[in-house]
Each structure stands twice: as C-alpha cells, then as structure tokens.
Amino acid sequence: MTEFYQVCHIFLILEKTLFCHFLVKYLMNNTRRTLLSLLLIFGSIIHCQSQTSDQPLYQRAEQLAQKFIILDGHIDTPYRVKISKENVAKHTSKGDFDYYRAKKGGLNAPFMSIFIPAFFQNKNGRAKFFANALIRTVEELAERNPQRFAMARTPRDIEKHFRKGLISLPMGMENGAPIEGRLENLSFFYKRGIRYISLTHGKDNHICDSSTDPRKTWGGLSPFGKKVVKEMNHLGMMVDVSHVSDEAFYQVIKLSKAPVIASHSSCRKFTPGFARNMTDDMIKALAKNGGVIQINFGAMFLNESSGNAYVKMTQIRSNLKLSPQKREAAAKAYIKQHPLKADISEVVKHIDHVVQIAGINHVGLGSDFDGVGDALPEGLKDVSFYPNLIYHLLKKGYSERAIEKICAGNVLRVWKAVEKQAGK
C-alpha cells in the first residue's frame, strides 16, 4: 500500500486534472484490486472538480481576510510568552500565534489575554503583581517591534493601526482576581490598558461564582462583584461573562447599563452539560442586552463527545485521593484514549446557531488560541487559518457584510457603546 499512498499524496498536492489520466494509467497497470482502483479514480475526479469549483471562492476568502479587520476576542499568547520566552515577532515552531502567521491569516486585533490562574487568588498581592508582569510582556512586544505591533486602547486605535498595516494589541484580563477587593484597582488596570475583564476563571473568586466550580459560593455575583460591574460601566471597560456561572450571568445582564461580551464561549446546545458554554436563553438575553458571544474554537466547546471527555479529564485532575503526579498521568492517559477532536465546520455551526436565534449582530470570534493546546479543530489550527473560516462562511451563504460583522464589526460596536456609557 506504500506506493498507493505516495501516488495519492502527489496527486492531492498538485491538484491538476491532467494527473487524473496518469493516476488511472498507473492503477490499471498495477496489481491492486479493481475495486480499489475504481474507488480512487472516482474519488480523484470528484476531488478535482471540487477543488476547481471552490478555488475562486477560497481566493475571495483570502482577499476578504485582508480587506476586513479581524478581531479575535481571546488569545493566550502573553502567558505562553512569559513562560516560554518565545519571540512571537518572528516565526515560531510552537504555539498558535506569531507575527507572520497572523499576517498570513489577516488577524489585525488579537485581544491579548492577561490570564491569571486561579491559584493566584487570595495570595496577598500576587495576582496583581502577575497581571502587571503579563501586561509588561505585551508592552515590550510592541515597543521592540514598532513596525509590526502597536498597543490599542480604543476601537479607533485598531482602525488606525489597520490602515498602517500594524497588528493591534488590545488587552483583556482573564480572571478578576487582581482587583483584590479594591475598586480603585479597576481604574489602575484601565489605565494600564485593560479593556475587558472576565470576572472569574475556573474557581469562584471574590467577584462571582465560576461556571466550573461546584461550590457556588455567592449564588452568582458577590456584593463586591455587583459594585465591580457598575464601576466597569462607569470606566468604560467591557464586562466579560465567559467563565461565570449561569446565575452570575443573569445578574450581570440585569445590572449592566452597557452591552457585555462573552469573549470566548460557544453554544451549550451542542455540548449539553458543558457549563462553560451558553444556553440558548443566555445567548438571547445577551443579544437583548446588545452584547456579543465570541465563538471558542476548542473542540470541547464544539461537540458533546469532546466536551464530556474534557470534563472527565478535569475531574481526574481534581481527584485529591491521588498525588499530583498520578493525577496528571491519569488525565493524560484518559485524554489519549478520548482525544478532543473537531472540524472547522463545527465552528461555523455554532456561528450559524447564534445567528439563527439571536441575529447576525451578536456573534464574533474568540478562538482561545494558545489556550486550548491540541484541541483545535481540523482546518483551524492557528492564526493563519482565518481565511479558511471565511471560506466556509461564504460556502454557507453568508454575505460579505455579515462576515465583516462576525470578524470584528459586532465587537467594535459593543466596545464603542461601552465607551459611550463611561462616566454616566
């Protein structure tokens, strides 16, 4: 079978109809079974026809990726860079983001996630210290590469940088732990460039309950958390409801005078029991608020089997009866047997579902690149693949205007509305 696969590989790379003739000739002179030959011939012809007909559409998708601003609501590159010391201004062999792949994919405004792991909570200033360190990591990336990157604090910054060919680096904080019970820290981080805060992460914190923490300490928002939402409105900082419990979500929606975002969540309709995603009722409430859900690309957010496997892996890692080493080994063994798999078509399915139940104005992109490891879907493996997503949206029948809204327009609208609410 080695020769057979070699021919298939060459044929698929060249993708020229002329090679169908040579492939047929090769197979007819070969001793392989007739059935195998016929299957490959018919499959090859279909592949040729499909590639020929889809090529103009894909070229159009590539053009749109460069024409439109593409804003991704959640990319975990700062934490990755802080730990690995990689220079993402150059080509990198690891991770999902670097300058060259971003330019190829048309990514203009990746929200750099200032991710604060739950173990920093209640550690006497360590959360704030670590947040500042990650912010400095992003600032240094822009300062050392002024011809490639620029810090962005407003939607107008992003539009200006787009015209100059620069990649904007807006920032959002994942986990409000660095607020540390002091409202003045919200103003501090706003001045540092933070433009949204995911109120919590994997564990309940002093602001609200987490979707993945069974304790439900506050029954939603804490008394301090309610003050946080109001102060964020006052400052002009977006409230991010990704990671919060359902109860906290509805309380935020009731309190917030400005639209809110879910920076990296997907639809629970396709992942029953996966609490990190949003139910249809939540998505409708978010839309009524004027907000946007930014679809997460991780396989566990996209289909039920991967979601269940991820939940089980998390439970194994939380088993205090085992040592940390045994827990991690067991989790890796489990996920090896139950891999997290998805396809780009599933991302489109989630986008399409939001459009159907809430409208085109309430969906965006929040990949979680550099945050979900090997769980990215086929066809959407890093920041160079946005044209492929646009191509699938075009195939689905989305107009250029609709795609422009999905790529950035909807989130920029929310951001401007939040700015307008500031001070009121």
Q: What is residue 87's predicted lDDT score, i.e. its pLDDT?
A: 98
Q: pTM surpassing 0.85?
A: yes
Please provide the distance, in angstroms rounded to a whole number, between the alpha carbons at the two ends of the chain: 71
Q: How far lies 121's CA from each of 5, 175, 197, 207, 211, in Å?
A: 53, 9, 15, 11, 17
Helix (H) or strand (E) segment spanning residue 412: helix 410-421
What the chain holds in terms of domains, given with CATH numbers, is: 2-55 (no CATH), 68-303+342-421 (3.20.20.140)
Nearest to 338 by CA among 310, 368, 319: 310
What is the mean pLDDT, run by run of 10 residues, along the chain of 424 residues? 36 39 43 44 43 82 98 98 96 97 98 96 89 98 98 98 98 98 98 98 98 97 98 98 98 98 98 97 98 98 97 91 91 94 98 98 98 97 98 98 98 98 89
DSSP for 246-270, please give it.
Answer: HHHHHHHHHH-SS--EEEEE-BGGG
- Distance, CA of 78 to CA of 171 (rounded, Å): 10
Alpha helices in 68-215 (DSSP H): 77-84, 99-105, 126-144, 155-164, 184-191
- For residue 53, the model assigns a pLDDT of 62
Q: How far is CA 134 from CA 28, 128, 159, 174, in A?
A: 61, 10, 24, 11
Q: Which residues are CB-contacts of 269 (< 8 A; sequence separation ≥ 6)?
A: 279, 280, 353
Listed in sequence order, the residues at least 6 apart from 343 whose beta carbon sits closer than 8 Å to its beta carbon are 377, 378, 379
